Amino acid sequence: DVKVTQSSRYLVKRTGEKVFLECVQDMDHENMFWYRQDPGLGLRLIYFSYDVKMKEKGDIPEGYSVSREKKERFSLILESASTNQTSMYLCASSPHGPSSYEQYFGPGTRLTVT
């Protein structure tokens, strides 16, 4: 079974702190994704990566950065956390190949910024 793990299930941080969210997948997938999920808005793509050290902006990259130094690990960084970044963050991975491949999701990290 594909396994995508995220470093924390719940996280509480203060405004202005630097926050790291870690995601690890064990299926040698090339693609990895970071989404945020807010009530009524559905999932929105923040960043994705299609290979080590490669990244592309999604729909809402402002206030975030990412790092992919190893194939299995994709990190989301909030340089200076703000209250409007309080949300559920979901990581996903998928293999390269035809666009038919599906994305596999981690359990999510619920981040609260106070």
Partner 1 sequence: KQEVTQIPAALSVPEGENLVLNCSFTDSAIYNLQWFRQDPGKGLTSLLLIQSSQREQTSGRLNASLDKSSGRSTLYIAASQPGDSATYLCAVNLSNYQLIWGAGTKLIIKP
Which residues contact partner 1 by CB under 8 A? Answer: 4, 31, 33, 40-45, 48, 50, 56, 90, 92, 94, 96-108, 110
Q: Which is nearer to partner 1, 16 or 53 (CB)?
A: 53
Give phi and psi for 90, each to the nearest 5. Answer: -120, 135
Q: How far is Cα 90 from Cα 20, in angstroms, rounded to an integer?
A: 13
**What one-letter code names the amino acid at 69?**
E
Q: Smallest distance from the beta carbon of 108 to partner 1, in angstroms? A: 5
Q: Smallest distance from the beta carbon of 80 to partner 1, in angstroms? A: 26
Q: Which is nearer to partner 1, 84 or 99 (CB)?
A: 99
Q: Smallest distance from the beta carbon of 61 to partner 1, in angstroms? A: 14
Q: Which is nearer to partner 1, 19 or 32 (CB)?
A: 32
Residue tagged 């690990």 (tokens): 73
Helix (H) or strand (E) holding 71: none
Q: Report whether 45 contacts 58 (CB < 8 A).
A: yes
